Structure 1
Amino acid sequence: MTLQGEHTLIAELKRGSKEAFDRIYKLYASRLLAYCVHYTKSREDAEEIVQDVFVALWNSRETIRQEETLHSLLFTISKHRVINAYRSTLNSPVYEDYVDYQNELSAGEDCDRVEYEQYVKIVKDAIRRLPSTQQRVITLSRFSQLSNKEIAERLSLSEQTVKNQLSVGLKTLRELLAKVLVLSVAGLILNIVNRWL
């Protein structure tokens, strides 16, 4: 097969070409594997996720809307597979936020990354700055993964109060985290620079 643009491969994939699928696999598999290993810290788990991503691509080939590139589609599927793989062992909403944070940092290639444990510590420290009701509601929602109804029952509040406190608390928390994470990354960079002096 002659060298083709990705848009041609996508068109052929939609028509069921296994050769196009193989070429797309070769184009993306190693990048997806590196992405997944970064989060799973396990090559075996990452390989399994990458295989699942390509099975999903093949199974949905006829309904693919992308025409020029599959980059964002494949990395989005990978992100969701990574989060699902950790749903039972890690605190999923916090881990999902962490993966989103890491993806945003990827845009700035020179930024140091904050490891997951450090990220959780930063989140918990930021939560402690909120009013006590918001602290309890967010902790029960994000760390214990309780529904608004369960939180209302546990804290003797109305569901609407829980919903309001969660909404206001998460908005404030996002603002706090934006500042803290920027400072944290800046602090990491400053520490590296200081070691050079």
Structure 2
Amino acid sequence: MVPELSPLSNDDMYLLTGLAQGDAMVFRLIYQSYERKIYNIAFYYTDSEEDAEDIVQDVFTSLWLRREKIELKGPFENYITRCAKYTAFFYLKMRQKKKQAAEHVTTPRALDGPEEHIRYKDLQAYLHTLLESLSHKTREIFYLSRYSGLSYPEIANRMDISVKTVEYHVSLALRKIASGKF
């Protein structure tokens, strides 16, 4: 026999209904109630204040964007806690991928012969073509990040955009380069 899930509390129904209707006051209430808990969970897993702050923003952004589709099978607090954990795990996975990518990237040293020099030039031309196929904004952000060595907050400040926007455009550029599709 499968145990029945307990029905949602009145508070959870209020939050879910208000959120689905786009009620900004309900969203603010949710934010004020759970922001600290999400931050603590995120910091516990990532051991990074910056990542924890970003995770809080990601969880609430996702919550708002998905507000009409959320179906609770238990308390709202359990749902928001799972969101925080999954987002933290995603950040850890991305951190690991960045670390692995950084370990595999080598800066070109003195080229041994003409064949290596030609291959290097071909690779540079190919990369340039891929980057030129990006939108102006994505290309500019990518160049500032990878060629000028600016941090995401520095780029965001310089271009008067959010750090999340910088992350999005760099990620977009990297996916395009990885896929090799123009």
Bigger Cα Rg: 2
TM range (shorter): 0.3 to 0.5
Q: Give TM-score, length-normalised by structure 1.
A: 0.41
Q: Give TM-score, length-normalised by structure 2.
A: 0.44
